[in-house]
A and B are shown apart, each in its own frame.
Chain A
């Protein structure tokens, strides 16, 4: 039982990260019906910005003096960086293709993904880059279940961002504009919403969440790599599909579910650890085959972004 609870905690942690990345996929898909292949790379970009900024701060001794301030600083800067990156990608590779076939946009997205991945490789090197992790150690026991501070931190940041996102989408003008554009681009343009701007902002928000996920993953596993975005990207996409693509709540639930399934399958199925990446793909294929609308598929029209 303790083992099970322990795995559940691990699964929740991982699921929170997937949920953050999945939101970017689902929002972009909801608004322009594009699988944003480069989103996994934005996530990796967040991880890299985290390691760059935290190493810099650590070398100045700031991380020992004010670890929380340093983390928040790195998180916000990385989110800003990734937002700029995603807006640039959207402007360069997707906007000119708004009227061409879906295949073209998809290939262009794939091209951007390869481009960014190799951009990281060329500028940051082929090998893993280690996070300064001195301040992430430690944890506490809950009964016999070990919970690290990092896991609590990940869950706290994830929950906070999810609440912020919900407020943004459902309580602000820009959120309303996003929902309107997702529902009907022409009508929303007629009432004075600048669709290009809204799409750009959607990319930026998705990128912010992915950047946060990138830093959290980097801190949790202790290192980043140039191709770290690929597999989590697909898994997060699987989460978005599982939750019903285009649906924000669905993506959150899907993310946590995928994280749980992956960890529990790795823990309980023999040889599960070796094949843990397979489970997400199998879920993806299964969901697309048996219920392509996903868990939250029914109210797709109301809650789409």
Chain B
């Protein structure tokens, strides 16, 4: 019973008491009465979990778990080493096979969740180019998703242009939006940039919400066509093409899988290219990068446009899948969610972002009864992650110290 031990327990008890004081007014004062039962139940649960975590933490600090943790750590290192040495296709081929076979063995609901995960993987990877590789904190990323979605929606409804033709157009429009937003903002420093991108994201949403003539305002746009393909059709000796609208969920799954795999390959190639190195140089130390001959402004703009392209593609798919778009899908919370995927998974790491998307989209589906607490857990996890494990679940291989690190 050292003094430090007693002090840490005292602080812990104080923190719990503090928490109760903060919790009670929100739950306890209602209908002209003072209640204590509900707030106490909630508090008791939180306190029990916190105490358990705290005891485990204290025990871990004293080395009680070392006999278990050390062999486990060695095992993990050995496995990681093996995996590292195995050829990459041996790992990726089963994964890809699983992804391809997925709709054959699962029901509609599972496919729906999988489509969501894949959309968020596309978004997360796009944002990863901006935040993870280039180190520019973008809080308005969902705007590009919105630009992509509305571009396809408008082209499809007014001009009946097919999905596949629209994809590059959406990407182009999103990239243009990225440049327009990026040009005035990219001279700012990290946290100013964050708040300005947030402002731009909100401006885009407000314009979508208020420009009744073009976007239909809060009512959104209905009647967007699903993606289609032309199947060759032989009839009476002559070749004709038959239009087939890909409405079924399996088809949509394969389309987004194609987009996601394309995004993964593209981001991987960017990551390990000359451009990717320039991005990382900017992230690590902008001044040094500039001195080494990297045109930082141009590369930052490029990072922004590239990130926007992936967002735009995912947006086009989103519109085609829902066949309806409205500004409600492009709120700040969506931006925060994509960002927390990137952060949770590990900034700059492709498997990390995929893991993050799985964790934030698929996990809540498993805990459906706690649906209400989803965003609460998001926020908490984001803050906790920064305190406990700032590099993320699956940190990127190359991650140095940033130039503006304190100390």
A-side interface residues toward B, CB under 8 Å?
Answer: 33-35, 48-49, 52-53, 55-56, 59-60, 81, 84-85, 88, 92-93, 96-124, 230-231, 234, 237-238, 241, 271, 274-275, 277-278, 281-282, 284-285, 288-289, 292
Q: Are A102 and B191 in contact (CB under 8 A)?
A: yes
- Minimum C-beta distance from B375 to chain A (A): 4
Q: Is B166 close to A, CB under 8 A?
A: no
Q: Which residues of B contact A97 (CB under 8 A)?
A: 386-387
Report B182-207 CB contacts with A as 1/0, cut-off 8 Å.
Answer: 00110110111011101110110011
Q: Which residues of A contact B18 (CB under 8 A)?
A: 84, 88
Taking a contact as CB atoms closer than 8 A, the residue among A60, A92, A106, A122 that contacts B191 in the complex is: A106
- Prevailing SS type, chain A contact patch: helix
Known contacts A278-B206, A281-B200, A285-B196; A114/B378 CB under 8 A: yes
Q: Are B379 and A115 in contact (CB under 8 A)?
A: yes
Segment of B21-29, B51-59, B116-124 engaged in the interface with chain A = B21-29
Q: Which residues of B contact A56 (CB under 8 A)?
A: 29, 32, 34
- Minimum C-beta distance from A214 to chain B (A): 14
A56-B30 Cα distance, complex, nearest whole Å: 7
Segment of B67-75, B147-155, B332-340 engaged in the interface with chain A = B332-340
A123 nearest CB neighbor, chain B only: B26
Q: Is B231 close to A, CB under 8 A?
A: no
Q: Is B81 close to A, CB under 8 A?
A: no
Q: Which residues of B contact A115 (CB under 8 A)?
A: 376, 378-380, 383
- Minimum C-beta distance from A21 to chain B (A): 14
A102-B193 Cα distance, complex, nearest whole Å: 12
A-B contact pairs, 14 of them (CB 8 A): A55-B32, A96-B387, A106-B194, A107-B383, A108-B382, A111-B380, A111-B382, A111-B384, A112-B383, A116-B379, A120-B26, A231-B202, A238-B199, A289-B187
Q: Which residues of A contact B407 (CB under 8 A)?
A: 99
- Minimum C-beta distance from B193 to chain A (A): 9
What is the size, in residues, of chain B's interface with A at 8 Å between Cβ atoms?
61
Known contacts A52-B25, A115-B376, A115-B380; A275/B210 CB under 8 A: yes
B359-392 interface (Cβ within 8 A of A): 372-373, 375-376, 378-387, 390
Q: Which residues of B contact A275 (CB under 8 A)?
A: 206-207, 210
Q: Are A284 and B333 in contact (CB under 8 A)?
A: no
Q: Are A88 and B19 in contact (CB under 8 A)?
A: yes
Q: Are B26 and A101 in contact (CB under 8 A)?
A: no
- Prevailing SS type, chain B contact patch: helix
Segment of B89-97, B305-313, B398-406 engaged in the interface with chain A = B398-406
Q: Which residues of A contact B29 (CB under 8 A)?
A: 52-53, 56
Q: Is B343 close to A, CB under 8 A?
A: yes
Known contacts A49-B25, A288-B188; A101/B405 CB under 8 A: yes
Q: Are B27 and A123 in contact (CB under 8 A)?
A: yes
State the total of A-B contacts with C-beta under 8 angstroms. 167
- Minimum C-beta distance from A124 to chain B (A): 6
Q: Are B21 and A117 in contact (CB under 8 A)?
A: no
Q: Are B22 and A88 in contact (CB under 8 A)?
A: yes
Q: Is B135 close to A, CB under 8 A?
A: yes
Known contacts A101-B402, A101-B405, A112-B383; A48/B26 CB under 8 A: yes
Which of B207, B340, B382 gathers most chain A CB within 10 Å? Answer: B382
Q: Which residues of B contact A93 (CB under 8 A)?
A: 383, 386-387
Q: Which residues of A contact B203 (CB under 8 A)?
A: 278, 281-282
Known contacts A100-B390, A275-B210; A114/B333 CB under 8 A: yes
Q: Which residues of B contact A123 (CB under 8 A)?
A: 23, 26-27
Q: Which residues of A contact B199 (CB under 8 A)?
A: 234, 238, 281, 284-285
Report B1-43 CB contacts with A as 1/0, cut-off 8 Å.
Answer: 0000000000000000011011101110111101000000000
Q: Are B32 and A292 in contact (CB under 8 A)?
A: no
Q: Is B167 close to A, CB under 8 A?
A: no
Q: Which residues of B contact A112 (CB under 8 A)?
A: 379, 383
A81-B372 Cα distance, complex, nearest whole Å: 25
Excluding A274-B210, A288-B192, 11 further A-B contacts by CB distance (< 8 Å) are A48-B26, A52-B29, A100-B406, A103-B135, A110-B139, A110-B336, A119-B376, A271-B210, A278-B203, A288-B188, A292-B188
Q: Are A113 and B386 in contact (CB under 8 A)?
A: no
Q: Which residues of B contact A281 (CB under 8 A)?
A: 199-200, 202-203
- Minimum C-beta distance from B351 to chain A (A): 20
Q: Is B137 close to A, CB under 8 A?
A: yes
- Minimum C-beta distance from B301 to chain A (A): 15
A274-B199 Cα distance, complex, nearest whole Å: 16
A110-B197 Cα distance, complex, nearest whole Å: 14
Q: Are A114 and B379 in contact (CB under 8 A)?
A: yes
Which of B198, B383, B407 gathers most chain A CB within 10 Å? Answer: B383
- Minimum C-beta distance from A88 to chain B (A): 6
Q: Are A118 and B379 in contact (CB under 8 A)?
A: yes
Q: Which residues of A contact B387 (CB under 8 A)?
A: 93, 96-97, 108
Q: Which residues of A contact B375 (CB under 8 A)?
A: 114, 117-118, 121
Q: Which residues of B contact A110 (CB under 8 A)?
A: 139, 336, 339, 379, 382
Known contacts A119-B26, A275-B206; A285/B184 CB under 8 A: yes
A127-B332 Cα distance, complex, nearest whole Å: 19
Q: Are A104 and B406 in contact (CB under 8 A)?
A: no
A29-B190 Cα distance, complex, nearest whole Å: 14
Q: Which residues of A contact B184 (CB under 8 A)?
A: 285, 289
Which of B333, B340, B379 gathers most chain A CB within 10 Å? Answer: B379
A275-B212 Cα distance, complex, nearest whole Å: 13
Taking a contact as CB atoms closer than 8 A, the residue among B31, B135, B340, B376 that contacts A118 in the complex is: B376
A110-B387 Cα distance, complex, nearest whole Å: 13
Q: Are B200 and A122 in contact (CB under 8 A)?
A: no
- Minimum C-beta distance from B183 to chain A (A): 10
Known contacts A35-B191, A97-B386; A114/B21 CB under 8 A: no
A109-B383 Cα distance, complex, nearest whole Å: 7
A288-B194 Cα distance, complex, nearest whole Å: 12
A98-B194 Cα distance, complex, nearest whole Å: 19
B381 nearest CB neighbor, chain A only: A111
A115-B407 Cα distance, complex, nearest whole Å: 29
- Minimum C-beta distance from B347 to chain A (A): 8
